[in-house]
Amino acid sequence: MRRVAIPVFLDRVSPRLDCAGKLLILAIQGTQLTERRELDIRHWTADEKIFNLRQLGIQEIICGGIRQEDRTGLKRLGIQVFAPVFGEVQTIIEHYLEGALEPSTCRRNGNRRPGRKCLKECETGPSPLSIFNHSKTFK
């Protein structure tokens, strides 16, 4: 069974993990959603959010934006990151269950002009244009 977290703002994936006030926790067996619960995380600091994800047994997180230090911390804890992903939570869950979302590596590429390489020692992710061309934004 996989445990997946999605930071939520209203009914959409939160644009930033570190600023999210609500966290949706999913338990998934194969392609079936077996459990769904929400946590109020407004009182958690950004660092507590990363630490507490591990304490909750989260193996994957689907989020909009994520700070590089958070991405690094999650990777060290063995938590796979799916970002940047934007859209309505229910639609994102459906796409995830269908296998339509792919884990990302480095978001820094989205903050630079196309064609530039990452200056740090990390894998490069999709270019800003390919993010939209590969339907990671869902209505």
pLDDT at 14: 94
Domain that residue 70 falls in = 2-138
Distance of alpha carbon 21 from alpha carbon 16, whole angstroms:
10
Distance of alpha carbon 41 from alpha carbon 48, whole angstroms:
9
**Cβ contact 109:125 at 8 Å:** yes
pLDDT at 105: 47
pLDDT at 103: 77
Q: Which CATH number goes with the domain that contains 131?
A: 3.30.420.130
3-state secondary structure of 35: strand
For residue range 84-118, list pLDDT tens digits in order: 999 999 999 999 999 888 776 444 444 444 433 33
**Cβ contact 79:59 at 8 Å:** yes
User: Which ranges in 43-127 belong to alpha helices (H)?
Assistant: 46-55, 68-76, 89-97
For residue range 18-76, list pLDDT tens digits in order: 889 999 999 999 999 999 999 999 999 988 999 999 999 999 999 998 999 999 999 99
Q: How many domains does the chain have?
A: 1
Residues 71-82 have a mean pLDDT of 93
